[in-house]
Structure 1
Amino acid sequence: MFYRPVIAGVVAAQILAISPALAADKISYAAPAAWIQGAEVPQAPPEDGAAAVQLVLDDNQTRFAPDGDSYYNRRIYKVTKTEGLPGFQSRSITWDPASETVVWHSLRILRGGKTIDLLKGGKDMLVLRRETSLERAMLDGRLTANRQIEGLQVGDAVDMSWTVTRRDPITQGRSFDFERMAFPGTAGRYRVRVSWPEARSLRWKATEGFGEPTVTTRDGWTVLERDVLQAVAPKPPQGAPARFRRLGELETSSYASWGDVSQIMAPHFARAAVLKPGSAVRQEAAKIAAASKDPKARAFAALKLVEDQTRYLFLGMGEGGYIPATADETWERRFGDCKAKTVLLTALLKELGIESEAALVSLGGGDGMDERLPSLSAFNHVLVRAVIDGKTYWLDGTRTGDRGGLDALRSPNWRWALPLRDQGAELERVIEPPLDNPQMTAAIRLDASKGLEVAAPAKITMRMQGDAANGMRQMIARSAKPDLERAVRQTFSTTFSWIDLKTVTWEDAPAEDAFSLVITGEADVDWRENPDLGVREFRLPGSGAGGPQAFPRREPGPNRDAPYVLAYPMFSRSSVEVVLPSGGRGFTIRGPNGVQMIGGYELKQVSKVEGGVARFFTDVRSVSPEIPADQIEAANKALRGLAAQEYFVRAPK
């Protein structure tokens, strides 16, 4: 990971033993600062139809000041039903002691006009260091202050408030705030208040459903505010791309442009990639250079070296959340996070004479990045942007098991990347074309040549390519062969309950970046009498299934007419072959033939009898990442017709 995670837990005991004591390790307890505007407890939302826990007050106030950025939050929750009590066993605050300090103002129960103080100056507060993501090889060094909620009853309200102040030298004085209406149902009062010195230049942007904030100036401070009673959070449209689901949000940023972010981070990555005299990394680059003169072969060999010879481990303590370890250090200890692996890879590529640079991306949040205000916190991953013979390649050292060479690598689906350059750079669009070949091919072959009354030998072949092959290859490498065979038989027995699965084998084809799983057994081919036609026929199990899923109908609300997102890029192929008795003489089939477009998916179907074998083929390929909303009803109608299709093999009369 690249950024310091927003929600974290506690540091491992080993880290405790070597970490220096920090003043921010301890939490403070005091009244809110003078700049914080108090809020009276508003009237609770109506309980009729409300959730078990109601949000009475959601108060968020931010001040960007020369000595640090402070974020004040106050929440009041009311428990209206017994089902809401388990969710309030404790309350917690998490922070990064390297750059943040916390002041906890209040934690109390409001009951019938009485106040029960739970904070008590922190007497019963538990401050922990623990890691919640150790299983994902992540250490971030964050702290958690926790207090149990004792004696809570239905009808009580829990009132808590705190301030986090951040002084991060990495951002060089830039500020950013993100607020979102993310509560269910209705909030009694929702307020956002952001203030900064009048002489300072900041921008703000609100998305659909947030409303129009007011901007005022007083005593040398500019104040941006949105204050709503009985607020209802806008609901995102089902099936929409991420940029249309960002509703009820407010961003405030002092970054002048994305180039600001690029300039801030570029020197850190450039310094870390400088190799020391006698570097072992330089020796590894020399070995790669001696093995091939082809720049693409060299680049792929460097990528494989980083993938295979350094394991992933995220160290986010102190500046580790943003600043990479050096290439030499990462190679010596043989582990690193995305930053460290990126630096190691760029150092290797530089030695090999290949143009490359680090580039920031957002895992899962890239769609609509160009519509957002610039900030460093928008990114959570970094990789390498390499250019060979005028073509851009995106190389991610945190991956494992890549095969097939540089041209077999797919562009990532993160939409936008920010190259890190000393002079700054703007966002670059990452183009992800449709797939030309299936990533998954499922083929079933039934040998019914011995007649209609006996079980048919069956063979199921699942051929995967690209990332699908890589994932299967790694899973098999981690598993014991007997355990894996047993697990595969049990898993596939649900879908293929009509086949007695016996053997499981696999075939790896690294040169083709492919991996195949082969299962054999005996099928109960159920030839049933059709009384209307007077013939026996075999209906293929699962007929009509396996196509694209229907699109949901949307309720009224913001962005209701937004496009629908598709499974993209996607290309799957399925086939069923039935070897017929008597060379297929007199046998007929029923199945679809043709090519059609259904809601952004290209569907090719072939049904035929050829050489004594009944064959049914289906290709499904997405040709675009999304489609307009006005095409959904027609697409759903076509998908219902697709689901109703049946595939038959009919014996002679």
Structure 2
Amino acid sequence: MRTPILLLLYTIAVSCSLINISQALADEKPVVKQPAKWVKIADVSVANSVDLYQPVSYLLLDRQVNNTLANKQKYYRYTYRLNNTSSVVDNANIRISFSPDYESLILHQINIIRDGKVLSRLDINKVKIVSDENQQASNILNGQVAALQLIEDARVGDIIDYSYTIEGSNPVFANNFSYIAPLGWSISIADVHYRFVVDANMPLQKKVSGLNVSLDEQRIGDQRILSLSLTNTTKRVLDEYAPTWHNPYPYLQLTSYQSWQDVARWASALFNVDSQHTESLAEFIASIQTMEQSKAIEEAIRFVQDDVRYFGIEIAENSHRPHPPSEVFAKRFGDCKDKTVLLVTLLNAIGVDASAALVSSEMQNSINDYLPTHALFDHVIVKATADDKTYWIDPTIAYQGLGADTLYQPNYGSALIVEPQSTALVVAQPDVEQTSAVHIEEQLTAADYFSPVKWQISTTYKHREAEAMRYQIAAVGLEQMARQYLNYYAKKYPLITPMGDLVIDDDRHSNQITLTEYYLVPQYWQHEQQDAGFTLMADHLVAYVKKPTTIKRRDPYWLHWPLVIDHSVSIQFPEYVRFDSLQDFALNNDYFQFNATLSQDKRTLTYRTHYQNKQNVVAAADTGRFVQDLDKLNNYLGYQRSVLKVTEDPGVNEMQTLLKLLNKRSLAND
């Protein structure tokens, strides 16, 4: 059993020149000013703020937005008490992130409240501007920086109270207004204040989910002011391995979009980039136009996925506006929207109806629970229609199968097609059913009960698992992978040696890849007196199906889905040995089916397990029963027995049996 392979993002080095660009954007330090007159200053109560069982007591969260100004402003204030030494280490540094391409930072205060006295610690000369490219690991460069000030004399018992305003907004959103404000956290906050100042004539939809509270509204002149306050919010810790789309926290949503069509029109305007083809792009299009359409589709997808590397420069408007397809083609890199626009261009050129589609890789279908807004989407893919089939192609996934019918299509749940006429979210579920699978066949061959055993392992990965394996082979290399496998098995069999190279058989058209390994295993048998023990383990599924550590849950438990795992282990004995325990085991519940079988064919004994899951989550209320079934299942992941009295050469017994049979036949003939 080996650890499952996950789909990983590319990792590349970011050049010093790009880092210097981000640093240059932040050469001007933030300014220090009092809050603007439109800000309503909140009172902070510091009484009874000590909670010795929590490292930090959170006293105030205050967020205010003024959308009526030419340079829109967002005001923030945070107040909290440091209750122990670890909280001083973790929370006595002030770090404020912003995007200098379209935002400026105004600092108001950094105070310590100690023994009832307010001590100012804001020193503009000690504020450092540092790179805050928090998406570099995902190959995204967004130009974000952070203002950092260390509070030098912070102590246990201090109350930190700081506030600031970020002025400016990303021009890509134009006059559209959207805000999703959390109303619950994994911590408790004594006082929470939200306040929004918008144009009185702005059409605004609002929604409060998960709490029985309402917004206060008032009109002052041409302004509309909305506010909401909470006290002593309930702490709610999310259980581990909850699905990303599951959000148990209450929230407030405000949006100026009146329909999903408004969002689609906004996105369509952004995606209406320069479509003029350069000579090199035109030549590539001409080359695929000469192909049969299915081959042309295959080559277009392969080119964008494999030859255009995933790397995004998402600075300012390019956070949401794609680069022109000719530019992406020439530079051979782009993020999801860049690669999508290029692939749509190629597919349209060969007569395939294709469009960009906005999706949420995390929220998936749960975006249907929200009011229309651009803020829900974090990814762009391609919707394509060919031969009366609809395909949802993710151009950022490399090493996929070749051909639209075999490449793995992630199920993002719901999507918004980037076309002005789109009026609603659509189901983004692929037409082609593609259950990912892992099939393992192990063959052990024993010449006797003392010599090393030959061990052959063939593992076939299909669809999603095949694509993940291709990526790992490309990233790690075949030689290093073989070394990793050998050392994994050596934990159980320290004297194991390879008998040949790791063999790869990759069929990208059927989207499956097979790895075959060959080993020689000394001391395979567990000898006890005159018996030789052996174990057949068909347990690869434990790499995918984990028992939750939190069983008494409030949140659903995520499963690796959809998935089939077949694992068989066969051993060929040096002689015929009869095994009577051939009873099968089967387990079937709402979440998976499992069976284990033992079969014998002459000298070969085979133990096989089969697992297939039915859903992608386990309901919180069913976790206990799910764990019980996993415990039952674990008892049938292997078969252990002994061959009795093996001190003699097994060939002697076989020869004696043969001689007796010949003697009987001779006597009968006489």
Structure 2 Cα separation of the partners of residues 329 and 46 of structure 1 = 56
Structure 1 Cα separation of the partners of residues 541 and 566 of structure 2 = 13
Structure 2 Cα separation of the partners of residues 433 and 357 of structure 1 = 17
- Of 525, 531, 534, 1:538 maps to 534
Which residue of the partner structure matches residue 519 of structure 2? Answer: 521
- SS, match of residue 377 in structure 1: helix
Structure 1 Cα separation of the partners of residues 262 and 489 of structure 2 = 52
Structure 2 Cα separation of the partners of residues 80 and 28 of structure 1 = 31
Which residue of the partner structure matches residue 559 of structure 2? Answer: 566
Structure 2 Cα separation of the partners of residues 423 and 67 of structure 1 = 31
Query: Residue by residue, what CA displacement relative to the aligned partner does 1:180-206 show, whole Å, maximum 9, x if unpaired?
Result: 246544322222233433332212223
- Of 455, 465, 474, 1:458 maps to 455
Show the 5 A alignment for 1:334-413: 334-413=332-411
- SS, match of residue 341 in structure 2: helix
Shift in Å, 1:478: 3.9
Cα gap change, 1:16 to 1:243, in 2 (>3 Å): closer
Shift in Å, 1:213: 2.7
Show the 5 A alignment for 1:500-649: 500-502=496-498, 503-510=500-507, 511-523=509-521, 524-527=523-526, 537-541=533-537, 546=542, 548-550=545-547, 560=554, 564-582=557-575, 584-589=576-581, 592-594=584-586, 596-645=587-636, 647-649=639-641
Cα gap change, 1:154 to 1:564, in 2 (>3 Å): closer
Which residue of the partner structure matches residue 5 of structure 1? Answer: none
- Normalising by structure 1, we get a TM-score of 0.87
- SS, match of residue 150 in structure 1: coil
Structure 1 Cα separation of the partners of residues 132 and 540 of structure 2 = 50
- Of 294, 300, 303, 1:302 maps to 300
Shift in Å, 1:124: 1.9
Which residue of the partner structure matches residue 666 of structure 2? Answer: none
Structure 2: gaps (5+ residues) = 1-13, 646-670
Task: Confirm or deny: 8 A CA contact 1:236 1:244 kept in the other structure.
Answer: no
Task: Kindly provide the amino acid, as one letter, of the partner of residue 303 in structure 1.
Answer: I
Structure 2 Cα separation of the partners of residues 25 and 151 of structure 1 = 27
Structure 1 Cα separation of the partners of residues 97 and 573 of structure 2 = 67
Task: Kindly provide the amino acid, as one letter, of the partner of residue 394 in structure 2.
Answer: D
Larger displacement relative to structure 2 (429-438 or 618-627): 429-438
Structure 2 Cα separation of the partners of residues 591 and 182 of structure 1 = 52
Show the 5 A alignment for 1:33-432: 33-43=36-46, 47-65=50-68, 67-88=70-91, 90-120=93-123, 122-129=124-131, 131-181=133-183, 183-208=185-210, 210-220=211-221, 221-236=223-238, 240-272=242-274, 274-276=275-277, 279-292=279-292, 295-431=293-429
Structure 1 Cα separation of the partners of residues 23 and 230 of structure 2 = 45
Query: Residue by residue, what CA displacement relative to the aligned partner does 1:569-623 show, whole Å, maximum 9, x if unpaired?
Result: 12222111111231x34234456344x3234112233221124211111121122
Query: Residue by residue, what CA displacement relative to the aligned partner does 1:333-377 show, whole Å, maximum 9, x if unpaired?
Result: 222222221111111111111100111112222240111122222
Cα gap change, 1:218 to 1:45, in 2 (>3 Å): farther
Shift in Å, 1:438: 5.1
Shift in Å, 1:52: 1.6
Query: Residue by residue, what CA displacement relative to the aligned partner does 1:77-128 show, whole Å, maximum 9, x if unpaired?
Result: 21111111211352111112233232211112221122222223x2221223
Shift in Å, 1:49: 4.7
Cα gap change, 1:19 to 1:62, in 2 (>3 Å): closer
Shift in Å, 1:222: 3.9
Structure 1 Cα separation of the partners of residues 452 and 618 of structure 2 = 45
- Of 617, 627, 651, 2:643 maps to 651
Structure 2 Cα separation of the partners of residues 41 and 436 of structure 1 = 56
Structure 1: gaps (5+ residues) = 1-10
Task: Confirm or deny: 8 A CA contact 2:78 2:163 kept in the other structure.
Answer: yes
Cα gap change, 1:551 to 1:79, in 2 (>3 Å): closer
| Percent of aligned pairs sharing the same letter | 23
Query: Residue by residue, what CA displacement relative to the aligned partner does 1:28-87 show, whole Å, maximum 9, x if unpaired?
Result: 321112222212222356534532222121122223325354322111121111111211
- SS, match of residue 273 in structure 2: helix
Shift in Å, 1:528: 5.7
Shift in Å, 1:543: 6.6
Cα gap change, 1:513 to 1:541, in 2 (>3 Å): closer
Shift in Å, 1:161: 0.7
Task: Confirm or deny: 8 A CA contact 2:552 2:623 kept in the other structure.
Answer: no
Task: Kindly provide the amino acid, as one letter, of the partner of residue 642 in structure 1.
Answer: L
Task: Kindly provide the amino acid, as one letter, of the partner of residue 598 in structure 1.
Answer: N
Cα gap change, 1:470 to 1:544, in 2 (>3 Å): closer
Task: Confirm or deny: 8 A CA contact 2:79 2:159 kept in the other structure.
Answer: yes
Task: Confirm or deny: 8 A CA contact 1:489 1:504 kept in the other structure.
Answer: no
Task: Kindly provide the amino acid, as one letter, of the partner of residue 346 in structure 1.
Answer: V
Shift in Å, 1:283: 1.7
- SS, match of residue 328 in structure 1: helix
Cα gap change, 1:41 to 1:17, in 2 (>3 Å): closer
Query: Which has the higher Rg, Structure 1 or Structure 2?
Result: 2
Task: Kindly provide the amino acid, as one letter, of the partner of residue 347 in structure 1.
Answer: T
- SS, match of residue 368 in structure 1: helix
- SS, match of residue 330 in structure 1: helix
Structure 2 Cα separation of the partners of residues 135 and 565 of structure 1 = 24
- What is the RMSD of the two structures over their aligned residues, measured on CA atoms? 3.1
Structure 1 Cα separation of the partners of residues 128 and 327 of structure 2 = 36
Task: Confirm or deny: 8 A CA contact 1:24 1:97 kept in the other structure.
Answer: no
Which residue of the partner structure matches residue 441 of structure 1? Answer: 439
Task: Kindly provide the amino acid, as one letter, of the partner of residue 463 in structure 1.
Answer: T
Structure 2 Cα separation of the partners of residues 650 and 21 of structure 1 = 72
Task: Confirm or deny: 8 A CA contact 2:209 2:250 kept in the other structure.
Answer: yes
Structure 2 Cα separation of the partners of residues 123 and 48 of structure 1 = 34
Aligned residue pair count: 626
Larger displacement relative to structure 2 (500-509 or 337-346): 500-509
- Of 463, 466, 470, 1:469 maps to 466
Structure 2 Cα separation of the partners of residues 585 and 332 of structure 1 = 67
Structure 1 Cα separation of the partners of residues 106 and 189 of structure 2 = 25
Cα gap change, 1:429 to 1:37, in 2 (>3 Å): same
Which residue of the partner structure matches residue 486 of structure 1? Answer: 483
Task: Kindly provide the amino acid, as one letter, of the partner of residue 216 in structure 1.
Answer: E
- SS, match of residue 231 in structure 1: coil
- SS, match of residue 285 in structure 2: helix
Task: Confirm or deny: 8 A CA contact 2:539 2:567 kept in the other structure.
Answer: no
Shift in Å, 1:407: 0.5
Cα gap change, 1:567 to 1:543, in 2 (>3 Å): closer
Shift in Å, 1:416: 1.5
Task: Kindly provide the amino acid, as one letter, of the partner of residue 611 in structure 2.
Answer: V
Which residue of the partner structure matches residue 11 of structure 2? Answer: none
Which residue of the partner structure matches residue 8 of structure 1? Answer: none
Query: Residue by residue, what CA displacement relative to the aligned partner does 1:317-339 show, whole Å, maximum 9, x if unpaired?
Result: 23211111111111122222222
Query: Residue by residue, what CA displacement relative to the aligned partner does 1:525-575 show, whole Å, maximum 9, x if unpaired?
Result: 334669xxx97653435779838434566658xxx4x65543211222211
Query: Residue by residue, what CA displacement relative to the aligned partner does 1:450-477 show, whole Å, maximum 9, x if unpaired?
Result: 2333332112233222232233323333
Task: Kindly provide the amino acid, as one letter, of the partner of residue 101 in structure 1.
Answer: S
